[in-house]
Structure 1
Amino acid sequence: MSKRSLQIINGQVITPFEIVRNASVLIRDGRVDAIFPDNRALPDVLTIDAAGRFVSPGFIDLHVHGGGGHDFMDGEVEGFQQIAQLHARHGTTAMVPTSLTSTGEQLLHLLRIYEEASRYTDKGATFLGMHLEGPYFAMNQRGAQDPRYIRDPDPSEYEAILEYSHLIARWSAAPERKGALDFGRRLREKGILAAIAHTDAVYEEVLEAIEAGYSLSTHLYSGMSGVTRKNAYRFAGVIESSLLLDALDVEIIADGVHLPAPLLKLIYKVKGPEKIALITDAMRGAGMLEGESILGHKDDGLKVIIEDQVAKLPDRSSFAGSVATADRLLRTMIGMADVPLLEAVKMISQTPARIMGIGHKKGAIRRGMDADIVLFDADIRVSLTLVEGRLVYSEASEEISQ
């Protein structure tokens, strides 16, 4: 399907403020043209019958490493395309491909491949720019990040990377590392989202980080400090700081494994849907069978085990990544955290769009917005995905007529 005019009829349309029952959406030239509170089929327009399903804004994943047996760190155009297609089948219409701590050579190669792959995304989710996760992390909070490459921010290094590519959308770092505040200021100057991640910072250091330009907590609760004691005194960590400070948005891996129901409910109660972005943080095992897999580059990445719907280190001492898809995130928030559908959708569409600075064109079904649209049923089973009006996934049962 091209960007010609089409109409989705007989749907429950999820707008930013309400769910409009028995409504239709008109799409022209890849954008939403109108929402009608009835099911009148217009003449000379392709028609999609939603058959009572929800018509939702497309899902935006701010933090994803791979899926379908591929990892972005493999540095292959085909891998980028396969990941985009796999996640589109589960409702993701836009994503931020994410790196892992690696050699400088691997990183530059990844950025080259990203630029090439971003030209060929007409069959899957679109790319919103690269997310560099590392290497400026706290060693104690590295998780599955490769300790061989963890280090302090070096201006000569990151300036060369910033000069090399203009397609970096966000960069995650531990703000307590030497030089990390100057690094955050530089990212802010470049219009790049600075995020706090894999960190042992305390509250006072988080305040300094916010002043320097950091505005997002990467995968809240994972790879970050909580309350600590020094010389008998307690200090709030990044977890408490992220919940307390309105200046920080948070992203959460809502796969139902990384965070149990009480923590999901706490985050939702404190931050609200306007400040929470749901992320998959998916590695190559997303959409694959359980068993052995690799986190990172297929040739020298970390061996992991996929079981119990999550990736684990071989000794099972820690999680090593998510295998979630975006539809699973919605099911988790609704089923485990008791979040209403309207607000759960906001956390995976409108809020991440605002965080990435693209809320003027993506993240909602409104006139003039990109026609990134997903159809799903009451069980959040995705049956159709449109990206800027293009059909990138459809179940065989979908009826599209002239």
Structure 2
Amino acid sequence: MHNVMKKILVNGKIILPERILDPGYVYIEGNIILEVGEGVPSIGTDTERIDVDGKYVSPGFIDIHVHGGGGADFMDGTVDAFLTVAETHVKYGTTALYPTTLTSEVSLLFETLDAYAEADKRNNKGAQLMGMHLEGPYFAMSQRGAQDPKYIRNPDPDEYVRVLDYSPVIARWSAAPELPGALDFGRYVRSKGKVLALAHTDAIYEEVWEGFKVGYNLATHFYSAMSGVTRRNAYRYAGAVEAGYLIDEMDVEIIADGIHLPMPLLRLIYKIKGADRIALITDAMRGAGMTEGESVLGNINTGLRVVIEDGVAKLLDRSAFAGSVATADRLVRTMLKTGDIPLHEVITMMTKTPARIMGIDHKKGVLEKGKDADIVVFDADINIGMTMVLGDIKYASTY
């Protein structure tokens, strides 16, 4: 019989949801975690020993909302684009990601879904592809952000039924719950077992609540492209942001790059929602992991020209942000240093909570026996030393 390779990470600070084991170890057999423990274990001769030299050992980062990186965007619709993005983000600690679309023609969406399916078979160097996240096109025009207005429309059953029938790789769909037909759309998406999220919405609290009841239980990039308190004929109405706070079971994802949301808002979200209801996301476009300068949001040929400066993508007239260039390590660093949040809770927001939201928490998100061996090693400044996906080292800097 062929022996499955065993590895053991020793001399690490092992990050668990409630505490940090220091020193501790993680024992891996094949692609699964065999044991997590405290102290220094005795090791058999059949085991590769990896001394992490006092660094932190964390579950692999799970990015549930990402558009691109390394000069590629999923909307390029090519297998190479998918592989480039997966290989870029793995260097920054991401072990699992959900490729995300932008509003587009259905034909381009189908090309992107086809490219995903092929890339998933060929992806042996990057973060694992976990399923597609469709962002749009069913949005409030007033909250479109950098999404192309010519594709924004109300939910159309003929269209969304066809899209969901086309490919099994769709994991999540984000839409505005207040649009005509959005509740029926939401019920249909949920009936297919997909995650349903509210996004680019001008909904007031009452409309969000109706949406929540049919399954809109995740707020896409909380605060970004989302209504707050509004006045209509002298009366005040709570918006989607307030609904996200008031509905205890509503999960929120946040672009914790330190720019989309300033420190007081990061702290407020954490104070009210807590680590178990917050997922950190990059929402990264193709400029992640690249130098600053001009870039393109969306498809390389038909997308929106933008400029990357000050650590963020902006519209050319600088009137609005046009996407993030964050990587997962930056999200963790920001929440730790700016949010002043304990490290194990920050890691929960980057691992355990996104895994639960996407329904993969039976195999990912926590370092424990039986889970996938998705592991990231980093120092006190969150510089990534090693990224392991399903027991294979995909990235390693020199210790």
Q: Normalising TM by the smaller chain, what interval?
A: over 0.9
Question: Would the alpha carbon gap of residues 3 and 314 (structure 1) be closer, same or farther in structure 2, given more than 3 Å must change?
Answer: farther
* Cα distance in structure 2, aligned partners of 1:41 and 1:147: 61
Query: Are positions 1:42 and 2:43 aligned together?
Result: yes
Q: CA deviation at 1:22?
A: 1.1
Does the Cα contact within 8 Å between 2:21 and 2:37 map onto a contact in 1? no
Instruction: Tell me the distance in 2 between the aligned counterparts of 1:104 and 1:31.
Output: 38
- Structure 1 residue runs of 5 or longer lacking an equivalent are none
Cross-structure match for 1:383: 385
Aligned to 1:89: 91
CA distances 1:189-210 after superposition (whole Å, capped 9, x unpaired): 0010110000000000011001
Question: Quick check: 2:140–2:201 contact (8 Å CA) kept in 1?
Answer: yes
Q: CA offset at residue 330 of structure 1?
A: 0.5
Separation of aligned partners in 1, 2:76 and 2:181 = 29
1:35 Cα deviation from its structure 2 partner? 1.5
Q: Name the structure 1 match of 2:111.
A: 109
Match in the other structure for 1:286: 288
Deviation string for 1:124-162 (max 9, x for gaps)? 100110000000000000000000010000000000001
Partner of 1:327: helix, strand, or coil?
A: helix
Q: Deviations over 1:202-257 (max 9, x none)?
A: 00001100111111000000001000011111000001110111121000000000
- The whole-number CA distance in structure 2 between the counterparts of 1:55 and 1:375 is 5
- What letter corresponds to residue 382 of structure 1 in structure 2? I
Take 2:96 and 2:122, find their aligned partners in 1: how far apart are those partners? 13
Provide the rounded CA distance (Å) in 2 between the counterparts of 1:227 and 1:23: 48
- Alpha-carbon deviation of 1:121? 2.2
Partner Cα separation in structure 2 for residue 62 and residue 118 of structure 1 = 16
Alignment match, 1:5? 6
Q: Does 1:308 align with 2:304?
A: no
In the alignment, the residues of structure 2 paired with residue 364 and residue 18 of structure 1 have an alpha-carbon distance, to the nearest angstrom, of 12
What is the aligned partner in structure 2 of residue 335 from structure 1?
Answer: 337
Check if 1:19 corresponds to 2:20: yes
Shift of the alpha carbon at 1:3?
A: 6.5
> Any conservation in 2 of the 1:15–1:365 contact (CA below 8 Å)?
yes
Dislocated runs of 4+, deviation >3 Å: none
1:79-228 pair list within 5 angstroms: 79-228=81-230
After TM superposition, the structure 1 = structure 2 runs for residues 66-77 of structure 1, keeping only pairs within 5 Å, are: 66-77=68-79
Could you tell me how far 1:56 is from its partner in structure 2? 0.3
Residue aligning to 2:347:
345
Q: What per-residue deviation string (whole Å, max 9, x for no partner) do you get for residues 312-360 of structure 1?
A: 0000000000000000000100111111100000000000000000111
Distance in 2 (CA, whole Å) between partners of 1:325 and 1:309 is 11
Offset at residue 64 of structure 1 (A): 0.1
8 Å Cα contact 1:9/1:41 also seen in 2: no
| Counterpart amino acid of residue 341 in structure 1 | L
Aligned partner letter, 1:127: L
Q: CA deviation digits over 1:23-69, x for unaligned, max 9?
A: 11100121110123122351221111110000000000000000000
Equivalent residue pairs, number: 396
Partner of residue 249, structure 2: 247
* Cα distance in 1 between the residues matched to 2:230 and 2:59: 41
SS at structure 2 position matched to 1:287 = coil
Give distance in 2, aligned partners of 1:333 and 1:217.
19
SS at the partner of 2:122? coil
| Percent identity over paired residues | 58
SS at match of 1:51: coil
CA distance in 2, matches of 1:287, 1:331: 16
The 5-angstrom pairing of residues 308-327 of structure 1 reads 308-327=310-329
Q: Which runs of 5+ in 2 are unaligned?
A: none
CA–CA distance in structure 1, aligned partners of residues 387 and 336 of structure 2: 21
Aligned with 1:35: secondary structure?
Answer: strand
Distance across 2 between alignment mates of 1:379 and 1:120: 33
Residue identity matched to 2:17: P
**In structure 2, how many angstroms separate the alpha carbons of the residues matched to 1:145 and 1:266?**
27
Contact 1:4–1:30 (8 Å) recurs in 2: no
TM-score, normalised relative to structure 1: 0.97
